[in-house]
Amino acid sequence: MGNVIELKNINKIYGTIIKNQVLYDVNLSFKEGTFNSIIGASGSGKSTILNIMGTLDKPTSGEVYIDGKRTDLMTKNELAEVRNKKIGFIFQFHYLLPEFTALENVLIPYLIKDGKAPKEVVKRAEELLDLVGLSKVKNNRANNMSGGQQQRTAIARALINNPKIILADEPTGNLDSESTDAIYDIMRDINEKLGTTFIVITHDRRIAERADRIVEINDGKVHMDIVR
């Protein structure tokens, strides 16, 4: 399997007058179909790395390759296309629309774009909700679901465009240990069934120790890179 993400000599400096360098010559790559975790103290730079990988942020210098294509030189529109086609995001806070049902939330990208989702997309959304164990509550409004169910909906939403990569920033940070285990099982199941590459920032040992690889970021550098 080839690398689905590659970072080469990434530096990130915030500010122009008072400069704050948060990443120093980061070189990292992730193989397609793997399940990876990124750990590190708060402020170590791990979320900045994830944002750069997700094309939500640009490096000050260095090269970013997503699925073989260099993205750090792309225009905003080109980046948006890469994001839509290749990458799904899961955050600590699910950002679901509370007045919409689970199914509608999963279909949001289509509802915004065309006002209506094609039948085959609705079918896919239902399958994804089934995959994350939410078939029975698919028509429940987001604000009537538990935290674990909301996060599972967010995972299904991240998968709706069939992305090659899922970037997750503290996906279980807001959940109890039982829901954490359930979310891990779902992510691993998706990784195995669909071959989706997972890169998960986590403070949660239960997630990190079950990943194929742990990357520890310390003071803006890759401090440790260990594999199972």
Partner 1 sequence: MEFYNKFMEYLEAEDKEKAVFYALNLLEENKVDILTLYTKILAPSLNNMFCKSTEKGVCIWKEHVRSSIIRTIIECAYPHVIKQRDKNGVERRNESVVVVCPQDEYHEIGARMVADFYTLHGFDTVFVGANTPKEDFVSAINIIKPKYVVISVTNYYNIVNAERAIKRIREIANYDLKIIVGGYAFRANKEIYKNIGADYLMDSFEEIEAFIKEGQK
Residue 222 beta carbon to partner 1: minimum distance, rounded to whole angstroms: 10
> Judged by CB under 8 A, does residue 226 bind partner 1?
yes
# chain residues binding partner 1, by CB under 8 A? 11
Tell me the window of 44-52, 56-64, 125-133, 216-224 that interacts with partner 1 (CB under 8 A): 216-224
Written as one letter, the residue type at 39 is I
> Judged by CB under 8 A, does residue 209 bind partner 1?
yes
The tokens describing 154, both together, are 């967010």
State the CB neighbour count (10 A cutoff) for residue 10: 24
Query: Which of residues 208, 215, 217, 220 is near partner 1 by CB under 8 A?
Result: 208
* Percent of the chain that is helix, strand, coil (3-state, to 5): 40, 30, 35
The DSSP annotation for 37-89 comes to: EEE--TTSSHHHHHHHHTTSS--SEEEEEETTEE-TT--HHHHHHHHHHHEEE
Residue 97 beta carbon to partner 1: minimum distance, rounded to whole angstroms: 36
Tell me the window of 69-77, 90-98, 159-167, 205-213 that interacts with partner 1 (CB under 8 A): 205-213
By CB under 8 A, name the binding residues for partner 1.
Answer: 39, 205, 208-209, 214, 216, 223-224, 226-228
